[in-house]
Amino acid sequence: MFEEEILLGDTEDSIRLETRQKSPIKNVIAPEPGVLGQRKYALIRKQHGQDWRNRKPACGVYNCYGMVFASRRTAILDDDQIPMVLREDGYRPVVDEMWVRPGDLVFYRLRAPDMLLHVAVILRRDDTLGTLFALSKWNSISGEDEHNIRHHCWTRMEPVELDFWTDRPSDARETA
């Protein structure tokens, strides 16, 4: 029996992508969403995003990891690569949410089983509301949405934990 790859060859496009320490990062340029993909994104927004602010309509090419680590040029699909990217690109955990700043990252994670779900970029802190707001691209067919970090697609999954990371220079107060 003939396989698709034998008949067509490699049909996925990718770009050369490396960490700062030159380790390769596997990636794929995601196709633009069709009508079905646009409907799925609209349904996600309807079910979860009543207070999200849309920044960009449904589009392909990149996912959340590609938005954060590849400048919106490609999708990084292998979650197992993310610890390497964080380490080799000089990120470190932020131990307390009070030290999180715009430009830092928030990871959404299930602890059991240990599984990364998503990453978003912190945009701002609203001290009046006592919350952080982030920019997310939920998957490779969604658009980009600004949202309260606790108003996400996985509210029905328990327990989703938030981990914060930064590549800013270290501030001694953050570890106190």
- pLDDT score of 33 more than 50: yes
Phi (first) and psi of residue 164, to 5 degrees: -110, 140
Judge whether 2 lies within some domain: no
Residue 4 confidence class, pLDDT cut points 50, 70, 90: very low
What is the structure's pLDDT at 7? Answer: 47
Residues 156-165 have a mean pLDDT of 88
Q: Is the sign of the CA dihedral 52, 57, 59, 62 positive or negative?
A: negative
pLDDT for position 20: 97
Please report which confidence band the pLDDT of residue 5 belongs to, taking 50, 70 and 90 as the band edges: very low
Q: Three-state SS string across 112-148, please?
A: CCCEEEEEEEEEEEECCCCEEEEEEECCCCCCEEEEE
Check residue 128 and give its pLDDT: 87
What's residue 3's pLDDT? 53
Q: Which residue has the tokens 């994104």?
A: 41
Q: How confident is the model at residue 101 (pLDDT cuts 50, 70, 90)?
A: very high
> Helical H runs in 25-126?
35-48, 64-69, 82-88
User: Which structural domain range is residue 29 located in?
Assistant: 9-175
Of 171 and 80, the structure prediction assigns the larger pLDDT to 80
3 falls within a domain: no
Tell me, yes or no, whether 113 lies in a domain.
yes
Mean pLDDT computed over 160-173: 88
pLDDT of residue 172: 61
Domain assignment present for residue 4? The answer is no
CA-angle at 134, arms to 110 and 147, nearest 5°: 90
Please compute Rg for the chain using Cα positions: 17
Instruction: Kindly report the pTM of this predicted structure.
Output: 0.89
Confirm whether 1 is domain-assigned: no
Domain count, the chain: 1
103-151, pLDDT tens digit by residue? 999 999 998 788 899 999 999 999 888 899 999 999 999 999 999 999 9
Whether the CB-CB separation of 78 and 94 falls below 8 Å is answered with no
At residue 100, does pLDDT exceed 70? yes
**Residue 48 in domain:** yes
Check pLDDT > 90 for residue 79.
yes
